[in-house]
Amino acid sequence: MHTILAIETSCDETAVAILRGNELLASEVASQREHEAYGGVVPEVASRNHLLHAPRLLDDAVKKAGIALKQVDAFAATSGPGLASSLMIGASIAKGLALGFSKPYLAINHLEGHLLSPFFVASASSRCATHGQDARATIEPNVSLIVSGGHTLLVEVRGVADYRVMGRTVDDAAGEAFDKVAKMLGLGYPGGPEVERRALSGNATRFEFPRSMLDSGDHNFSFSGLKTAVRYQLAKLGTISDETRGDLCASFQRAVVEVLVKKTLRAARQSKTKLVTVSGGVSCNRALRDQMSEACNRARVRLLTAVPDLCTDNAAMIAFAASLRFQAGFESELTQEIDPNLALA
């Protein structure tokens, strides 16, 4: 049974997790609220905060896990994609620990962390049967939708470390569109949860927003035109009431969800998979989860979503991916650099 310590610092969340076998011993996350004032992540502020938070989170995680660092079998960190100055902090700490304790280092792709995260829940729920063993979740072949603030991708997953990107956004990520629309409407950051809350009482059919690239014939997405359409609508309306704000949120969310659901199901059909997985921050969205679930039921395809705690950035998903890779015999060189544009496959 292996113990993995993982650090995630790709954007504005500092996170440390310790996974022993199938058991998540600790998962600490510090979210940076400082970026709220800017309506987006400021890289210099993010990396300074990672430096401030990481040592404390590391201490807390080790205490919570009730282990000593020398008991860790491998140290892992997110090595990309993400902000260079942020990635560097987590990767340097993990490499330093690996070097200091003469243990292997694993560089993990942030996107791999997200796309495997729905299986982590599956393995945790069967923990009783497998207690005392390594995280041995079977990664069934699936079509995976990763929807976050930085990424929107459809990936054909054949197994651990066996991925084929089917499509991606050609401009904004879905979560980025939520954040930008929230900013336009004077709502807080991150915008996704706030837009979702307002959408609950809004009329989703009041405004007809574009479903960009719905019929593009490929598996790519585009959300920049939708964001601009909301901006034009807002300019036309002038001062708006709270009711109209809710209608804008609901109509916008409906357009995003419709495109994500339809294109995911089309990709699943094309790859002939019987399993769809959804991960990343936007997969916290209830409307997306519900509509994806209905569409999968109709298509007789199973749906696996990450539990809410594992949707937004965290280190548990990085530890889980590292654990599966470690068991498969992967190990990274300490000379491996971080890569802000790291590709998935």
CA distance 277 to 310: 13
Q: At closest approach, how far in Å is the CB of 150 from ligand KG4?
A: 4
For strands 152-159 and 162-168, give the pairing: antiparallel
Residue 128: partners with Cβ closer than 8 Å, 6 or more residues away: none
Residue 112 touching Zn ion (CB under 5 A):
no
CA distance 66 to 277: 33
Q: How do the residues of the chain divide into helix, strand and coil, expressed in percent and rounded to 5?
A: 50, 20, 30
Our CB check for Zn ion shows the closer of 114 and 254 to be: 114
Q: Are 141 and 125 in contact (CB under 8 A)?
A: no
Residue 313 touching ligand KG4 (CB under 6 A):
yes
Dihedral angle computed from the Cα positions of residues 110, 114, 115 and 117, in that order, rounded to the nearest 10 degrees: 130
Residue 313 touching Zn ion (CB under 5 A):
yes
Between residue 139 and residue 158, which ones bind ligand KG4 under the rule CB under 6 A?
148-150
- The option from ligand KG4, Zn ion, none interacting with 314 (CB < 5 to 8 A, set by class) reads none
- The option from ligand KG4, Zn ion, none interacting with 192 (CB < 5 to 8 A, set by class) reads ligand KG4
Tokens encoding 54: 């990481």
Our CB check for ligand KG4 shows the closer of 3 and 86 to be: 86
Residue 148 touching Zn ion (CB under 5 A):
yes
CA distance 212 to 169: 11
Residue 304: partners with Cβ closer than 8 Å, 6 or more residues away: 118, 119, 121, 122, 142, 275, 276, 277, 278
Q: Are 53 and 47 in contact (CB under 8 A)?
A: no
Residue 27 touching ligand KG4 (CB under 6 A):
no
Tokens encoding 195: 């837009």
Q: At closest approach, how far in Å is the CB of 306 from Zn ion?
A: 11
Q: How many residues bind ligand KG4 (CB under 6 A)?
A: 19
- The option from Zn ion, ligand KG4, none interacting with 190 (CB < 5 to 8 A, set by class) reads ligand KG4
**Region near Zn ion per CB under 5 A, out of 20-28, 156-164, 197-205, 310-318:** 310-318
> What letter represents residue 167's amino acid?
G
Q: At closest approach, how far in Å is the CB of 11 from ligand KG4?
A: 6
What is the phi/psi pair of residue 292, to 5°? Answer: -65, -40
Our CB check for ligand KG4 shows the closer of 247 and 313 to be: 313
Q: At closest approach, how far in Å is the CB of 308 from ligand KG4?
A: 9
**Region near ligand KG4 per CB under 6 A, out of 54-62, 86-94, 97-105, 278-286:** 278-286
Residue 202 touching ligand KG4 (CB under 6 A):
no
Residue 47 touching ligand KG4 (CB under 6 A):
no
Our CB check for Zn ion shows the closer of 250 and 284 to be: 284
Measured at the CA of 284, the angle between CA 279 and CA 287, to 5 degrees, comes to: 110
Residues at the interface with ligand KG4 (CB under 6 A): 11, 148-150, 175, 178-179, 190-193, 196, 280-282, 284-285, 312-313
